[in-house]
A and B are shown apart, each in its own frame.
Chain A
Amino acid sequence: MNRLDLTRTRWTNFLIRNRWPQFLIRAITLAGFIFTILAGLLGSVVGSHNFAIIFVWIAWWTALKLFFIPFGGRSWCSICPIPMPGEWIQNGGILQPRGKNFGLGKRWPKFLRGRWLQAGGFMLVGLFGVITLTSPSVTSIVLLIILLLAFVLALVFERRSFCNYLCPIGGFTGLYAQAAPVEVRVKNPEICSTHAQKSCYEACPWGVYPLALKSSANCGLCMECLRVCPSDNLAVNLRPWGSDLGPETKHSLDEAFLGLVMVSSALMDSAIFLGPWGQLKMAAYAIGTGSWFLFAGLFLVIALMLVPGIYTLAVWIANKLGEQKMNLRKALAHQSQVLVPLGLTAWIAFTISFALAKFSYVLPVVSDPFGWGWNLLGTVAKPWVGQSTLTSMLLQVIVLALGQFWSSRVAIKISGSLKQALPMIVFSAMTMVGMLWLLIG
């Protein structure tokens, strides 16, 4: 099965099962999160001199796309500080559940389930992205709202409802975790089927029953199931990339919508942040003005009509060319798997171009996080302007070509024939050429 179970090695097993390492990392990320909010609110209004902007949008956002997701799936979710305070209240304890559950523990409304709200949240990030990315106080306010929202929702609803249904980053990491080389899975299904207590499901903050886990999209890698399983029947596997993508896996329409929003956002962000169109940037920045409404209209037309329209057409043709026809709704969901490698590699290529040129800002803000003229670690120096080098362009080309290879393979695997896969291959080629043109054209 090409899997390597990390719980079989003594030290990785210790790191996974013991609550302390994870707790310590989360405590650090929580402290960093609060410090970031303070820096954004109290520090310099110049984004490039403020810890909040540089650490959130250059360091963390880059690490998420270049490291956490491609190598660890939802590994960021396992150390994310946002749900921590709410979870402490829910659990009645800080390190582990104490059996005293506070909060109303209501179930999340059925009509709000799925990834629709996460996709909407990600679109909002795109619509207000330019102001959020450049204004430290706006970044802090957004982080504060997210922290409070997660806390309040934890008091009203059961488990990690905010992460499951609202967090745009959770939607992002969840979608692309399907392509990642890490999974939590049951070792022996028979042992689970005879275990009546289902302690793993009871302990899971994500509301996932490991025996039914077929995709890593909803598993936050918190490792609680491993810690409570009385039979040591859960494994943390390293697996081949893209293991959750195939003809047998189940996918839903909200996943297709989320995937399309992500692809559209990658294209739009490349145009706004890396393109030469000053008027587009100004329009995206001038919130509330006529030009911003024009920009928002353009953004929504691309994200909700143009890209989904081309995708629907490709799926419809693919469905017509196949021997076994399925209804369009099912076909849209099934073919959404192509969007996973496509979107992931598009975001990686964008990040290489966007963030690596700005990385020189990171060390100075470590020494002077508020932009108040400090030089705590002696790393304050005038940051260089930042350049796209030939190496970075070649890397972008290679990443996009890998994305084309991967998404074409997925299209062929999940289709009945090459003929049926062709429309999806053409769709992914159009996206890739669009990204190439925006990034290096």
Chain B
Amino acid sequence: MMEELLSTQEELNHQSLQTKWRLMVLISQCALLILFLPIPLVTPKPIDRLIHIDATSFQFTPAEIKVNQGDRVTIEFVSTDVVHGISIDGYDFQLTSDPGQPVTGTFVASWPGMFRFRCSVACGNLHPFMIGKLWVGPNLILIRGVLLGILAVVAAIFSLKKSKVLKTGKTS
């Protein structure tokens, strides 16, 4: 009788472990899908844009720029005090302007997402934090992040669903 009970208990433990592993695999697959599944988007027809950016210690104006994927973007960049530069993360784009001397450069916004642009010439104490943001198309990584957060909550609930915790409030 005792042996039978022990064997049933062992089988239950084994099944519970199997369920946990299955759940983990399923959640990992969902996470990978959320992170990497290509999302087909209707992108507006690319256009040419001219954006004027002023650089003053230690800020860009405007510091937040939105363009569509595929747009051909021309930046007219001018420093208003000391020598400043601008470079965009993820893009091979860099300009340097002497005070009052506008410079221009063009790039095609091929990659979607949020990209910081930074001052590329040491300009003073706050230079490392002289930052702006460029959004190309919708910010998919932010949407993916929020979805992954929701999945994380669901995973947390399911990971404790069959444990004593949800029934008694005590850890098993």
> Which chain A residues have a beta carbon within 8 Å of chain B's beta carbons?
46-48, 130, 134-135, 246-248, 272-279, 281-282, 285, 358, 385-390, 393-394, 397-398, 400-402, 404-406, 408-409, 412-418, 425, 429, 432-433, 436-437, 440-441
Contacts and interface: CB of A to CB of B under 8 A. Distances in A.
Contacts of B130: 278, 281
Contacts of B125: 47, 134-135, 285
Contacts of B165: 247, 412-413
B89 A441 contact: no
A386 B90 CA distance: 10
A406 B94 CA distance: 41
Contact of A390 (B64, B90, B128): B90
B146 A276 contact: no
Contacts of A388: 89-90, 115-116
B128 A47 contact: yes
SS class, residues of chain B in contact with chain A:
mixed
A380 to B, nearest CB: 15
B102 interface: no
B69 to A, nearest CB: 15
Contact of A408 (B116, B133, B156): B156
A440 B131 contact: no
Contacts of A432: 149
A373 B42 CA distance: 53
A134 B126 contact: yes
B63 A277 contact: yes
A325 B127 CA distance: 52
B71 to A, nearest CB: 19
A436 B132 contact: no
A387 B89 contact: yes
A412 B148 contact: no
B166 A46 contact: no
Contact of A433 (B58, B144, B146): B146
A274 B116 CA distance: 9
A2 to B, nearest CB: 12
B31 A401 contact: yes
Contacts of B145: 397, 400-401, 436, 440
B142 A400 contact: no
Contact of B142 (A404, A418, A436): A436
B103 interface: no
Given A134-B125, A272-B129, A405 B155 contact: yes
B63 A436 contact: no
Interface in B96-150: 113-116, 118, 120, 122, 125-133, 139, 141-142, 144-146, 148-149
Interface of B: 31, 35, 56, 58-61, 63-64, 87, 89-90, 94, 113-116, 118, 120, 122, 125-133, 139, 141-142, 144-146, 148-149, 151-153, 155-157, 159-160, 165-166, 169-171
A417 B171 CA distance: 12
B118 A398 contact: no
Given A134-B126, A248-B171, A390 B157 contact: no
Given A276-B116, A401-B31, 5 more contacts: A282-B126, A397-B145, A398-B148, A402-B152, A412-B157
B166 to A, nearest CB: 6
Contacts of A130: 126, 129
Contacts of B151: 401
Nearest to B169: A416
Contact of B63 (A276, A387, A415, A429): A276
Contact of A418 (B59, B144, B146, B166): B166
A48 B127 CA distance: 9
Given A412-B157, A440-B141, A281 B58 contact: yes
Contacts of B142: 436-437, 440-441
A48 B59 CA distance: 18
Nearest to B167: A417
The 10 closest A-B pairs by CB, nearest first: A278-B59, A408-B156, A276-B63, A405-B152, A404-B152, A416-B169, A134-B125, A387-B89, A401-B148, A397-B145
B149 A273 contact: no
Contact of B156 (A278, A281, A398, A412): A412
B144 to A, nearest CB: 7
14 contacts: A134-B125, A134-B126, A285-B125, A285-B126, A387-B90, A388-B116, A394-B141, A400-B149, A405-B152, A406-B156, A408-B152, A412-B157, A413-B171, A441-B114
Question: Chain A CB within 10 Å — which of B144, B165, B170 has the most?
Answer: B165
Contacts of B118: 385-386
